[in-house]
Structure 1
Amino acid sequence: MTDKPQFVEERGQKVKLNNLCSRGKSSLRQKDVSNDGPYAVYGASGLVGTMASFQNAVPYVAVVKDGAGVGRASACEANTSVLGTMQALIPSEGIDRDYLLHLVRSLHLGDGFSGSTIPHIYFKDYGKLPVRLHSPAEQKRIVDIFASIERQIKVSKQQLDQLDFLVKSRFIEMFGDPIRNPLRMSVSSVEELAAPIKNSMKAGPFGSALKKEVYAESGYKVYGQEQVISGNQFLGNYYIDKEKYEQLNSCKVMPGDVLISLVGTVGKVLILSEDCQPGIINPRLVKITFDKRKIFPEYFAIAFSLESVRSSLLGRAHGQTMNVLNLGMIKKLKLPVPPISRQKEYLNFVAQVDKSRFVAQQQIEKLQMLYDSLAQEYFGD
């Protein structure tokens, strides 16, 4: 692991963020991406296609400005474009693009957003935030330090990818590919394997979305995309009171429920553990309660994550700037359903792989803590 370096330069002068960068172009919709040229177009989840032209001619930083992942910053190369859900930030003269990237990340622009309403952040607002400006030489030193940490994180993430590949390869070996090459065994739709599948798009007296005024400071948890995308059920600080909770029976969750994201970063899965907080799902999720006499939630989650299954579903997802899944797509998905004993055999194999996954994940968390500590030292007050 990289040792924490000694900080030698003065902490830098305070300036506003808009002194270090300006707004680039970011007006494309998903349907504008024609895939007719060599120039990349990026969205909140990465590359979304190509075009024959580009909007930003120099290397820049892109910030997710609305929806899931709001505030997340990434580096983009010259001669590329971003969707309208992103804000392109063009570095000013004398500002290293990657220095700007780490500085913007240190601002945690997405903090405080969760719940069912779509969050928005605007450069006209956060561009006024005070930040620290270091000399060009110090910018380079800071960038090199963060690059070293990120390389080590990348290695650990590659280990996780390899373990994930091992788990999925074993699934296909035992049960076949559900879409491309299913083995001869019982096949059932998700709808046949579960209790009635619910989401909160029509959440009783609260309409098609849980409005801000519904939320309370404590009470029953509201599970949203933040938890599902991160894989951490304990994140988030949105709640509803007991009275409203009792009116939303169809949206209530319990241990073992499978939550799936429907909008934006679609198809992400979270299985609620035994120590999950009582609560409900928000309108951007669907919950599935499987009959465990037929299928284990963990088996479903791995089957659902297979590339062929995701491609089949996402190929039918729709939307202008964000992908959208609907309940019908998920209910009709057919999966091989081996005997419970075979599912247990497979999940025992997965449990062994998870031990190695835990070690790699711990290394990533330690490196991320180092990154955050240095970001506070270099960019904080």
Structure 2
Amino acid sequence: LVKSRFVEMFGDGQWKRTALSEVADIQGGLTKSGKRDLLPLKLPYLRVANVLRGTLYLDEVLEIGLTAAECEKNLLVEGDLLFVEGNGSADQIGRCAVWDGSIAPCVHQNHLIRVRFDERVLPVYALAYFNAHDGREQIVARAVNTSGLFTLSTGKVKALQMPLPPLPLQQKFADFVNNVDKSRFNLLKAYGSIIALFRVLFP
């Protein structure tokens, strides 16, 4: 439903394309090393395994040591778009998800590239675009293939282009996505109740 609605609303590509560097602050994250275990400040951090295509996996979130300055620089904010930097598969390179703010404070590893949009772009619109055909083509085309590994740098993410439709239209799409998510949650809740009832009736 979401993919179909996105194509219906934005598929003709009539809007001027804008580089991400023009509408967002983009940076890498923390490099993991054994020395970090000695640092007194420890915070939850996101790694590649936590960022799936379009969604987050937060059942296992580890901690990392960091300095106060690193904490200030790398703290995630709800609405940040996270790109996976490298993967052996062209299909998985640049997979992305929007940070939901469910763990606070929280930082991110250097294998995730954080994109924080200004007021001209809604993260849910950007997420849908970079998971759609046009956005995926751009990501794969810019990825560097070294010994079978596809990689994205912050510079390449900054150079990605995206159409910039009017904010009210982006908001209309965001409202649709929110309604779909609510419907999905209610269906899963109802399904869980049916399964629980079935187990009571047929132990």
TM-score (norm 2): 0.77
Stretches of structure 1 that go unaligned for 5 or more consecutive residues are 1-165, 204-208, 367-381
RMSD: 2.8
CA distance in 2 between counterparts of 1:365 and 1:238 reads 32
The structure in which a higher percent of residues are helix is 2
Cα distance in 2 for partners of 1:303, 1:364 equals: 31
Code of the aligned partner of 1:261: V
Partner of 1:296: 122
Is 1:199 the counterpart of 2:41 in the alignment? Answer: no
Q: Aligned residue pairs: how many?
A: 185
Change beyond 3 A, Cα 1:245–1:210: farther
For each residue in 1:33-81, what CA deviation from the matched residue of structure 2 results, as whole angstroms up to 9, or x when unmatched?
A: xxxxxxxxxxxxxxxxxxxxxxxxxxxxxxxxxxxxxxxxxxxxxxxxx
Instruction: Decide whether the 8 Å contact of 2:46 with 2:108 is kept in 1.
Output: yes
Q: Following TM superposition, where does structure 1 have runs of at least 4 consecutive aligned residues deviating by more than 3 angstroms?
A: 215-218, 247-250, 355-366
Q: 1:251-308 deviations in whole A, cap 9, x for unaligned? A: 33222211111111422222222333213221211001111x2011111111110022
Structure 2: runs of 5 or more not aligned: 194-203
Letter in 1 for 2:28: N
1:304 and 1:191, CA in 2 relative to 1: closer, same or farther beyond 3 A?
same
* Change in 2 beyond 3 A, CA 1:362/1:324: farther
**Equivalent residues in 2 for 1:130-279, closer than 5 Å:** 166-176=1-11, 181-183=12-14, 185-195=15-25, 197-200=26-29, 209-215=31-37, 219-229=42-52, 231-233=56-58, 235-241=60-66, 244-247=67-70, 249-264=72-87, 265-279=92-106
Q: Secondary structure at the match of 2:151?
A: coil
Larger Rg: 1
Report the Cα offset of residue 363 of structure 1: 9.1
Report the TM-score, using the length of structure 1 for normalisation: 0.44
SS of the equivalent of 1:323 reads: strand
- C-alpha change, 1:261 and 1:360, in structure 2 (3 Å) is farther
Contact residue 286 and residue 327 of structure 1 kept, 8 A:
yes
Higher normalized contact order (CA 8 Å, seq sep 6+, divided by chain length):
2
